[in-house]
Structure 1
Amino acid sequence: MRPLRYAINVTLDGCVHHEAGVAPDEELMGFWTVEMQRADAVLYGRTTYEMMQGAWRRPESGVWPDWMDEWEIPFAEALDGMPKHVVSRTLESVDWNAELIRGDVGEAVTQLKQQPGEGLFVGGVTLPLVLTDLGLIDEYTFVVHPIIAGHGPRLLDGLSERLTLVLVDRREFRSGAVANSYRPAR
């Protein structure tokens, strides 16, 4: 069974909004590239899918945009070619190597996990909350940045029950960020 991994940047006060000032530097982008490469496919909700597509999809010209630093390209290439599963009630169709998931999310994700492979990666805010409540996430990685955002969506805000986690890995970065990886205590 493929493990489902959730990884996200988070501020000290729990904010997970992509505009909270937690943009990765070269070292962190290398970390995120390796995390992405540990998966066979990604799982996104509509909002995250559209945001990631807008930032990381290879342009039709085949040339990465000027705003992208050289050290961001390996991440972009890893994500661009990866199969994507998009959970949405509002999208009519998806592209960018993507398949639309409608209906029972728990059943669909369970079926994806039962396929052979290295793992699935889930990103975003809302979908991981649903999958956590369903007990489907096997590993959590929170990259905690030394920033206090003061506002924005919070990590797994609204979780129906407390979740106890066991630390399985920890890595410090020069920026002061720390990646903590956990598995649910079963």
Structure 2
Amino acid sequence: MRKLIFGMNVTLDGYIAAPGDDIGWSGPPSDELFQWWLDQERASELTLYGRKLWEAMSSYWPTGDQQPDATPAQIEFARNWRDTPKVVFSSTIDKVDWNTRLVTGDAVAEITRLKAEDGGPMRVGGAMLAGAAMRAGLVDEYAIATHPVLVGGGTPFLSAVDSWVNLNLVETRGLPGGVVLTRYETRR
């Protein structure tokens, strides 16, 4: 059975995007933060995206390694991003590329099916998709990079759940710029 991980950059007041889908608050990541995210992505065998996050990622990473100022970590991230199998859940787009398949039906049913397969960890990204997985009790781990900024509103990292979810802290680490990394596993 696969493990499902939900992780994103988050403001101290719990948002992944400020009003208007603004993610400018996160600024360019430190080398250490970028490396941490790269390590997280390399450890994943499958990435699940909601439409908005898919559109953001696919607008840059297919050619991110070809940018003149790309660092070695960015080059590796772009290559890993292209090579890692991906599933996009959307009823509003009709085509995806770069080792990706599109699911237009029931996201929870498909994530449940994918979790039941043999294989390595899967990552889920996108507030709405991850929220549906959370409410269905499918998320096994939360990986959070908390940035020292308050934005006062926007898209929350965590959506409402139907019942308590107890967690165990498995990692915490401070990084340059005041970013704090935390990882929690769901207690089953």
Structure 1 residue 24 corresponds to structure 2 residue 26: no
Determine what percentage of the aligned residue pairs are the same residue.
33
Supply the distance in 2 between the matched residues of 1:8 and 1:53 (Cα, whole angstroms).
16
- Compute the TM-score of the two structures, normalised by the length of structure 1: 0.90
Match of 1:161 in 2: 163
How do residues 144-159 of structure 1 correspond to structure 2 at under 5 angstroms?
Answer: 144-159=146-161
1:7–1:81 Cα change, 3 Å: same
Match of 1:170 in 2: 172
Supply the distance in 2 between the matched residues of 1:70 and 1:150 (Cα, whole angstroms).
35
Contact 1:142 1:179 survives alignment (8 Å)? yes
Contact 2:112 2:138 survives alignment (8 Å)? yes
Supply the distance in 1 between the matched residues of 2:162 and 2:113 (Cα, whole angstroms).
23
Supply the distance in 2 between the matched residues of 1:116 and 1:27 (Cα, whole angstroms).
31
Q: Which one has the bigger helix percentage?
A: 2
Supply the distance in 2 between the matched residues of 1:161 and 1:44 (Cα, whole angstroms).
24
How do residues 59-78 of structure 1 correspond to structure 2 at under 5 angstroms?
Answer: 64-66=66-68, 68-78=70-80
Which secondary structure does the structure 2 equivalent of 1:94 belong to? Answer: coil
Supply the distance in 2 between the matched residues of 1:117 and 1:140 (Cα, whole angstroms).
19
> How big is the alpha-carbon RMSD for the aligned residues of Structure 1 and Structure 2?
1.8
Supply the distance in 2 between the matched residues of 1:150 and 1:21 (Cα, whole angstroms).
14
Supply the distance in 1 between the matched residues of 2:27 and 2:181 (Cα, whole angstroms).
13
Runs (5+) with no aligned partner, structure 1: none
Match of 1:8 in 2: 8
Which secondary structure does the structure 1 equivalent of 2:6 belong to? Answer: strand
Contact 1:26 1:72 survives alignment (8 Å)? no
Supply the distance in 2 between the matched residues of 1:56 and 1:174 (Cα, whole angstroms).
24
Contact 2:30 2:176 survives alignment (8 Å)? no
Supply the distance in 2 between the matched residues of 1:23 and 1:114 (Cα, whole angstroms).
36
Match of 2:52 in 1: 47
Contact 1:9 1:22 survives alignment (8 Å)? no
How do residues 88-103 of structure 1 correspond to structure 2 at under 5 angstroms?
Answer: 88-103=90-105
Tell me whether 104-113 or 131-140 shows the greater mean CA deviation. 104-113
Contact 1:10 1:22 survives alignment (8 Å)? no
- Compute the TM-score of the two structures, normalised by the length of structure 2: 0.89
Supply the distance in 1 between the matched residues of 2:154 and 2:72 (Cα, whole angstroms).
30
Q: How many residues align?
A: 183
Measure how far apart 1:12 and its partner are: 0.7
Deviations 1:94-126 (A, max 9, x none): 111111112221221111112222210111211
Supply the distance in 2 between the matched residues of 1:130 and 1:48 (Cα, whole angstroms).
15
